[in-house]
Amino acid sequence: MDGTSNQPDPGGLGPADPGPLDDLDVTILAEVRSLWGRVDPVPAGLAERAKFALTMHSLEAELAELTRPELALTRLDEDEVATAESVTFTSSRASLLVTVTVLGASTARLDGWVTVAGSVVRVHTDDGEQVVTADDAGRFTFDEVRRGPVRFAVWPDGPQQRPVVTPPFDV
């Protein structure tokens, strides 16, 4: 005897050591993956949202909430794009209103107001990030950003403090 056992494990889930996967196992797993890819595909942007959540955790940032939850989108297919003309986020330290003006198929202008004048405002896009400082009235502008998912980080108490961040949304 070679020391391996084909006896079921105590949980009744199969042999204790089923050995390596063979070609049939690989084929079956590929078919299961394909089936779930059609029936319940991974939501578009899930990996980006997960990275965002991990980044927020490491920054110990405060998350600003969307103030009109009916605008919050839970899931989009790849060919669907949710666009917004204006959105408002709020947190315990600052509120942020952003108005989107579409400039073309791939760019938009973002005009915003933050409740704390002089806040540092950063917009994150697929192309990278841009940073501005809000004026004395809390107004800021990003003249040209790539359309697609964006999120904001706002430092109302200065760059050495915790930021307030928004969940991503599409422009």
Domains and CATH numbers, the chain: 46-170 (2.60.40)
Residues 6+ apart with CB under 8 A from 106: 146, 147
The parts of the chain modelled with pLDDT lower than 50 are: 1-3, 5, 69-82
* Per-residue model confidence (pLDDT) at position 77: 47
* Per-residue model confidence (pLDDT) at position 79: 47
The Cα–Cα gap between 166 and 154 comes to 9
This prediction's pTM: 0.57
* Per-residue model confidence (pLDDT) at position 126: 84
* Per-residue model confidence (pLDDT) at position 140: 97
* Per-residue model confidence (pLDDT) at position 57: 54
